[in-house]
Amino acid sequence: MQNRKLKIGIVVGEVSGDTLGAKLIRSFREQGIDAEFEGIGGPQMIAEGFHSAYPMDILSVMGIVEVLKDIKKLFAVRDGLVEKWTTNPVDIFIGIDAPDFNLRLAKSLKQKKLPIKTVQYVSPSVWAWRQGRVHGIKASIDLVLCLFPFEKTFFKKFAVPAAFVGHPLASELPLQNPILDAKQELGLEISQKHIALLPGSRRGEIERLGPLVLDAAHIISKKHPEYRFIIPAINDARKQQISDLLKNYPQELTDKIHLLENTDKESKIGRQVMNAANIVALASGTATLEALLLHRPMVTFYKLNWLTYIIAKLMVKIQYYSLPNIIAGKKVIQELIQSDATPENLATEIERLMNIETSQIQVMQLLTMHKQLLSDNSEDPVQAVLGLLNS
């Protein structure tokens, strides 16, 4: 196809992006595309030979107020990449998720009039909030790779080039996920009932949401002593942070908590923990899609800095916050957001899912959505990118 090696720039800001980036790199190689990859990536991408100019954690900042605190550092990283690719341009820049950073980076590359095609892999949630961003996307992004079919439909209205490439997890995760096998894989007691608690993978999330899930666990433990709790930690730093929080709780609770640290390069511990759980309580975000595809009864929650929340609330254009509800177009799982995210409310919703009939109704709805995501026709992301290069 081309006589020289392609240079592809990729920027990711969290574990889910690192997973998508690693899969994309492997897919290029499996299709015989001679390419080298550089930018910002995590351990999974680096294991595939990716050259990361900055640590991925540098972009792991969420919330308007939180980003403002690190704005100078983020600008310096953006400017560093622009300078790097002005001197030695890549053929294509692919921003994976992290839209606030990646869209600004793509805009800067366009302003420099560099011969670099720009792609955003994982659509920014413009269909949900700040819809005015779609005009900036149209100006700075040559192609949006969408994970869900409704996103391509949205962009079509605004004449933004988009391809529905599907979510790789929909085909990767089987329609059958035996819970006993999952418990065995983590060395958990097979006959024991487990509740997975996922307060997030970022430092700030665990600061805000860690006490919420542990307080809820304390309430449940007193009323339902037969349950045990499992919490994933993405790395040593997060494990230590959660361990420090646990020091504030009585031993009768901490003895019932399994804190499991990630041990593989693909950072699957969150998925493994959810798969082994009878009930999942998790922070609203990309992990809710994994829980959907694992068909586990779940409740989701989230709390932001109060000013960030007020600003975001004014801009949100959709009824629901979690992907399962957005995909379904109706309330399938309970969402506890901001002031509703209390230990008492969370404990109550977890208790509700202890009812077999209630949880089974939700599980069947999640399984139906999984099948729908598999049945929709999707394009290959590598071929979509190559088509852009040849246009």
More reliable by pLDDT, 316 or 64 = 316
pLDDT in tens, 96-139: 988 889 999 999 999 999 999 999 999 988 876 677 889 999 99
CA angle 193, 289, 297 (to 5 degrees): 30
From 82-96, 138-152, 341-355, 368-382, the region with the lowest mean pLDDT: 368-382
Contacts of 267 (CB under 8 A, 6+ apart): 15, 18, 19, 42, 43, 44, 234
Structure confidence at residue 376 as a pLDDT band (50, 70, 90): low
- Does 313 have pLDDT greater than 80? no
Exposure string over 115-144, b if 16+ CB within 10 A, otherwise e: ebbbbbbbbbbbbbbbeebbebbeebbbbb
Q: How confident is the model over 59-69, as pLDDT tens digits?
A: 865 444 455 56
pLDDT grade for 1, boundaries at 50, 70 and 90: very low
Average pLDDT, rounded, for the chain: 90
Q: What pLDDT shows up at residue 61?
A: 59
d(CA 272, CA 288): 14
Burial of 363 (0-12, 13-18, 19+ CB in 10 A): middle
What band does 387 get if pLDDT is binned at 50, 70 and 90?
very high
**Quick one: pLDDT at residue 317?**
67
Q: Say whether pLDDT at 284 is over 50.
A: yes
Measure the CA–CA gap between 205 and 291, rounded to whole angstroms. 18
What stretch of H or E contains 93? strand 92-96
Q: Could you tell me if 18 and 43 are in contact, meaning their C-beta atoms sit under 8 angstroms apart?
A: yes
Cα(143)–Cα(388) distance, integer angstroms: 7
Residue ranges and CATH numbers for the domains of the chain are 6-166+378-389 (3.40.50.2000), 172-374 (3.40.50.2000)
- Residue matched to tokens 């040559």: 142
List alpha helices for 224-342, DSSP H: 236-246, 251-254, 269-275, 287-294, 306-315, 323-328
The per-residue pLDDT for 150 is 83
What is the predicted pLDDT for the residue at 253? 97
pLDDT tens-digit map of 290-299: 999 999 999 9
Q: Tell me the percentage of the chain whose pLDDT exceeds 70.
A: 93
Report the pLDDT value the prediction gives residue 219, as an integer from 0 to 100: 98
pTM, entire model: 0.71
Single-letter code of the amino acid located at 79: D
**Residue range 148-169: mean pLDDT, rounded:** 90
pLDDT digits (tens, 9 = 90+) for 175-200: 988 899 999 999 999 999 999 999 99
Range 220-226 average pLDDT? 97
